Structure formats: C-alpha cells, structure tokens
C-alpha cells in the first residue's frame, strides 16, 4: 500500500513566504502524516472533497494528531494554493494582544505601538488563515471574529478605515465546542459560521496502520548523517511501537523516534532505545495488574490469593489438555509463555521485566535469547 506522506502534493510542506508574515511564524511545526490506515484514508477522501470549496472548515482532534497538517493540505488542494497559508495559535496571545495580532494596529494606537503593524488577517489575504485552538478565544474576541467573518473586512486598532479581506478560515480545536456552546463559553452563532465543513481526526491509537510508516519517516528525518548506514527497527521495536497507546499522538511518536535515533547502536533501533514519557509510565503503574483476557472471563483479581487460585485453575486446564499431546514439554511451554507475557507487559524492557519477576537481568536475557526474542 502506498504511503501518502505529504510529498503527494507539490510544495505541501513549504514554509510561509508571505512578506507580511513575521519570521517568528516561519517555521515547520509538523513534519508528516500518512494515510495507510482505513480511517486515515477516509479522512483523506474527506479532505479532497472539502478542499476545492471556499467554505470555512472546522478541524477537531486531540493534541498532536496533526490538525495543522490537515489544514495545510486543504490549502494546497484549494484554489488558494498559490496564496499564503498563515497559522495562528489563538491560545498563545494574551487578551490585550490578541486583537492587535489578528487585526493589526496603527502607529501610536497604544503605548508601545511605534510602528503600523499588519495583522494576521491581512497577512493571509487571498490565502488561508488557520486559527488553531480557537476554543481558547475569549467571548469578546469571538464577537469581533464573527463580525469579520460576516462583513469580510477588518479595522486595525487606532483606525476607522475598514480594510476588505479575502481569506478562507480553517479553525481547529481539541475541545468539545458543542459542549462549550452549551456551557456559554463559545458563541453559538460563531460555531455555526465555522461548522460548515467538519473534519474529525482520529487519534494515533485509532489508526494503528499509520504508526510504522510514520516511525520510518521520522527515522529518515532525524538520521541526519548522509554517510551513515540507514537505521532500521528491530521486530521487537516495531511491536513495542504498535502496542503503545500514544496519548500524545503523532507528536509523541516523533519525539520518541528522535530519541531512539540518538541512542541507537549498530544501525538498529532496539526496544531498549524506545522510551516513553514518565507521565505515561506513571499512569501505567497506577493500573492494577491483571491477566487481561483471563480476568475478563474469571472476574477481577483483587489480591494475590485470587491470582493464585486463578493460576491453579488455569494450570489444571492446561494439564488436562496436555494429555492429548504427549510430546509437549509443559514446563517449557509455561515458562516461555510466562517470560514472553512479562516481557510484553513491561514493553520489552529487560530491566523492568527482571524487576517484575524478581530475577536478574542476565536471567531474563538468557531466556529471551533462548526463545528467539533477542
């Protein structure tokens, strides 16, 4: 299956070049997305359907899912592709600055306004303005934004002259705007102005077929030495990546791969090179230990006595079944499955597996070699 990293479209990842856009925004905030997973392919079809129109778009997705990447793709597939793409984080400005940032100001309009400044709306003229985290805008700014969308003109602070603008708005948020409307934190009329073309981005854990293509892409991005042997992921490293829940989505995956590239040896990324955030580790430690599939049938394990009884029942069933297979070494089978399960539970970390089972790392490593896991 073909990987659709933004190379599918020319200049899709170009840096902002509009002369009115400050250099502080001229950077590459994200690097890639793929459309391998069926959910991602459905999203791509939706993007291609929406892009050619002039309709405002609303992108909803968790932090790190690639909302700006989707916005950039809509822009590049639209009739405005030759115009500027301007990305603004609405949550990055204070209440006193956001109006000046969006609409601009005249020289002398307020203390510190020593020059006339073009706002983001003017900078995006004949192009696309991406308003990220629009749910963070105050109600007063929502009123002013609504007026701009209705009148298609802005007025700089300190001026009385309206300036016509030709801008397509793509807004994005990671909050539930419908609930925000119900709670009185977001204007209903503005919501419907933006809610013309809706795109919902699945989390990375929901589109797992994208994980490995993305990981390989990030390896290429961060392996900067052109003379080095191309890095590859071991099978266990691949499995570790696919099993992780990725609460930080693509951004977390990118950072994880960046670290793995830095610490890897001999041209191979091993499970030990892949580390996840301490926040996630703490959350995993907070979860009670359970034999997932077994406990679903036999009930929750509340203490060690319950675990012992469950193991006895399980072993009895295994022993009874083993009578049909005289050549099977039950002891070897149980030990191998035990080690494999512990290793997987510890996310393929030898030190953690040894600690969990109360043995040395050398013992674990010997068993892993024996079972072909190293």
Over residues 346-373, the mean pLDDT reads 86
Over residues 161-172, the mean pLDDT reads 96
pLDDT digits (tens, 9 = 90+) for 61-116: 999 999 999 999 999 999 999 999 999 999 888 887 899 999 999 999 888 888 99
Classify strands 85-89 and 127-132 as parallel, antiparallel or unpaired: parallel
Given a contact cutoff of 8 angstroms between Cβ atoms, the answer to whether 66 and 47 are in contact is no
pLDDT recorded at residue 260: 96
> 86 and 212: one domain?
no
> 63 and 80: one domain?
yes
How far, rounded to the nearest angstrom, does the alpha carbon of residue 102 sit from its chain's CA centroid? 27
pTM, whole model, 2 decimals?
Answer: 0.69
Structure tokens at 240: 């570790």
> CA–CA separation, 233 vs 217, rounded Å?
12
Q: Residue 227's pLDDT band (boundaries 50, 70, 90)? A: confident
Number of domains in the chain: 3
Q: Which of 7-21, 183-197, 256-270 has the lowest mean pLDDT?
A: 7-21
**Structural domain boundaries enclosing 352:** 326-373
> 88 and 148: one domain?
yes
> 278 and 141: one domain?
no
Instruction: Specify if 254 maps to a domain.
Output: yes
> 46 and 165: one domain?
yes
> 170 and 215: one domain?
no
Structure tokens at 367: 């068993």
- C-alpha angle with apex 158: 154 to 161, nearest 5 degrees? 45
Query: Among residues of the chain, what percentage have pLDDT more than 70?
Result: 79
Q: Residue 276's pLDDT band (boundaries 50, 70, 90)? A: confident
């Amino acid at each position: 299956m073909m990987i659709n990293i933004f190379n599918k479209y020319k200049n899709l990842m170009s840096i902002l070049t509009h002369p009115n856009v400050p250099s502080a925004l001229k950077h590459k905030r994200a690097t890639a997305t793929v459309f391998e997973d069926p959910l991602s392919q459905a999203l791509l079809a939706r993007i291609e359907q929406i892009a050619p129109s002039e309709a405002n778009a609303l992108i909803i997705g968790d932090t790190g899912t690639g909302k700006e990447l989707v916005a950039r793709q809509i822009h590049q597939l639209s009739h405005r592709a030759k115009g500027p793409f301007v990305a603004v984080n609405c949550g990055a400005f204070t209440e006193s600055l956001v109006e000046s940032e969006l609409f601009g100001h005249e020289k002398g309009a307020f203390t510190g306004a020593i020059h006339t400044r073009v706002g983001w709306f003017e900078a995006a003229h004949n192009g696309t303005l991406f308003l990220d985290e629009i749910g963070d805008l105050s109600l007063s700014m929502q009123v002013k934004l609504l007026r701009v969308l209705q009148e298609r003109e802005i007025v700089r602070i300190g001026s009385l002259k309206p300036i016509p603008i030709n801008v397509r708005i793509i807004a994005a948020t990671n909050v539930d705007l419908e609930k925000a409307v119900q709670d009185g934190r977001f204007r209903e009329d503005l919501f419907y102005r933006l809610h013309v073309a809706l795109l919902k981005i699945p989390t990375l854990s929901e589109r797992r077929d994208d994980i490995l293509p993305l990981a390989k892409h990030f390896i290429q991005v961060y392996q900067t030495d052109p003379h080095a042997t191309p890095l590859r992921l071991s099978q266990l490293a691949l499995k570790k990546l696919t099993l992780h829940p990725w609460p930080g989505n693509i951004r977390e995956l990118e950072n994880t791969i960046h670290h793995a590239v830095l610490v890897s040896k001999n041209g191979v990324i091993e499970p030990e090179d892949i580390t996840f955030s301490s926040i996630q580790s703490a959350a995993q430690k907070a979860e009670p230990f359970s034999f997932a599939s077994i406990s679903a049938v036999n009930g929750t394990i509340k203490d060690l006595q319950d675990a012992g009884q469950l193991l006895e029942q399980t072993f009895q069933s295994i022993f009874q079944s083993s009578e049909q297979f005289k050549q099977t070494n039950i002891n070897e089978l149980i030990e191998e499955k035990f080690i494999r399960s512990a290793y997987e539970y510890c996310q393929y970390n030898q030190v953690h597996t040894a600690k969990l089972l109360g043995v040395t790392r050398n013992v674990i490593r010997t068993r892993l070699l024996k079972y072909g896991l190293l």
